[in-house]
Homo-oligomer: A and B are copies of this chain.
Amino acid sequence: MKNLMDIYARKKKDIAAIEKELAESIYTDHAMLKEASLHLLKAGGKRIRPVFVLLSGEFGNYQLQTMKHVAVPLELIHMATLVHDDVIDDADTRRGQLTVRSKWDNRIAMYTGDYIFAKALGVITQIHKPAVHQIMSKAIVEMSIGEMEQIRFFFNHEQTIRDYLLRIRRKTALLIAISCQLGAMAADAPDWVSNKLYAFGYNVGMAFQIRDDILDLIGTEKQIGKPPGSDVKQGNITIPVLFALQDPELKPLILKELERIQLLDGQTDVSRFLDLIRNSEGIDKSEALSQKYIDKAIAALDPLPNTQAKQDLVEVAYFIGNRSY
């Protein structure tokens, strides 16, 4: 399997152009906003959404300038939701960096999120396609509902797998799905192509989040840029845990740990909890489900012409399904 960087190599120049545009788009004279926004930007990330925009744009009339106007706001929207999520999660680190809320405070994180989001809208206005705006705004509404849903399910062990899947659909999969769809639409690809790319992105997004949730349980702090078990400390019950809870012998032990962690508001050692899940079938079952989504994603690309872009999308999908960071 290729490394993500190998896949990126072909689009290196264009990704660098987007990186530059990202930095320019959040520029402000306001010292604190500039510092907080740049801090976020420099914390990096895989820039998965821009990459999907670029690769999907190759199924139409690819113009870097047009691609930028789609890729930049999507990444900014993603960044804005991260800052707000960190407020909700009381998160101190992300990707090995201090979060805005821990480096400054929750109020500044809230307004930095608002600011970055506002800047995203400014970039979007440069796309003169009402359908693109409608798809984006609908996704943003769904995402904000998903954020709220997250709170409702904190420490709720009676939630179903379906609750979890619906949540990560809104939280992660939708934005990745529209990154693919809008990349194609902005490049004037035919509707059936952008629809297939939406399906691809949606399934990759589901796999991406499931993989993320697995890594939080089995990864090392170095790999995942935050202490393992961060999810459960915040009360975020993920799919490996839900699968593990299906084991009648493990269930009472896991519930007891969950109760203890909730009682201590997450301020406690969670290694016993991690051990329980790691030794359950939860990890394997989640990996299998993630693989199922990757397979679906790749199947969605079937009808598309066999281009380099398609091959790259397949490689990114495989990477995402198996990544350890």
Q: Does A110 contact B (CB under 8 A)?
A: yes
With both chains docked as a complex, state the minimum distance between the C-beta of A130 and any C-beta of chain B, in angstroms: 5
Are A148 and B87 interface neighbours, CB within 8 A? no
From known contacts A121-B137, A137-B122, A152-B32, infer whether A144 and B114 are also in contact, taking CB-CB under 8 Å.
Answer: yes
From known contacts A128-B130, A140-B121, infer whether A149 and B30 are also in contact, taking CB-CB under 8 Å.
Answer: yes
Are B138 and A122 interface neighbours, CB within 8 A? yes
Q: Does A253 contact B (CB under 8 A)?
A: no
Contacts of A88 in B (CB 8 A): 107, 110-111
Copies in the complex: 2
User: What is the chain B residue whose CB lies nearest that of A150?
Assistant: B111
With both chains docked as a complex, state the minimum distance between the C-beta of A104 and any C-beta of chain B, in angstroms: 10
Are B125 and A141 interface neighbours, CB within 8 A? no
Contacts of A130 in B (CB 8 A): 125, 128
Q: Does A84 contact B (CB under 8 A)?
A: yes
Pick from B30, B117, B138, B151: contact of A148, CB below 8 A: B30
Q: Does A98 contact B (CB under 8 A)?
A: no
A106-121, CB under 8 A of B: which get 1 and which 0?
A: 1110111011011101
Pick from B32, B107, B119, B148: contact of A141, CB below 8 A: B119
Contacts of A221 in B (CB 8 A): none
Number of residues from A at the complex interface, CB < 8 A? 39
Are B141 and A118 interface neighbours, CB within 8 A? yes
CA distance A112 to B115 in the complex (A): 16
CA distance A106 to B149 in the complex (A): 15
A145-168, CB under 8 A of B: which get 1 and which 0?
A: 101110110000000000000000
Are A137 and B125 interface neighbours, CB within 8 A? yes
Q: Does A189 contact B (CB under 8 A)?
A: no
A and B contact pairs by CB, cutoff 8 A, 29 listed = A28-B145, A30-B148, A30-B149, A32-B148, A33-B145, A33-B148, A87-B107, A87-B110, A88-B110, A88-B111, A106-B106, A108-B148, A108-B151, A111-B147, A111-B148, A111-B151, A114-B147, A117-B117, A118-B141, A118-B143, A118-B144, A121-B136, A121-B137, A121-B140, A121-B141, A122-B138, A122-B140, A124-B133, A133-B133
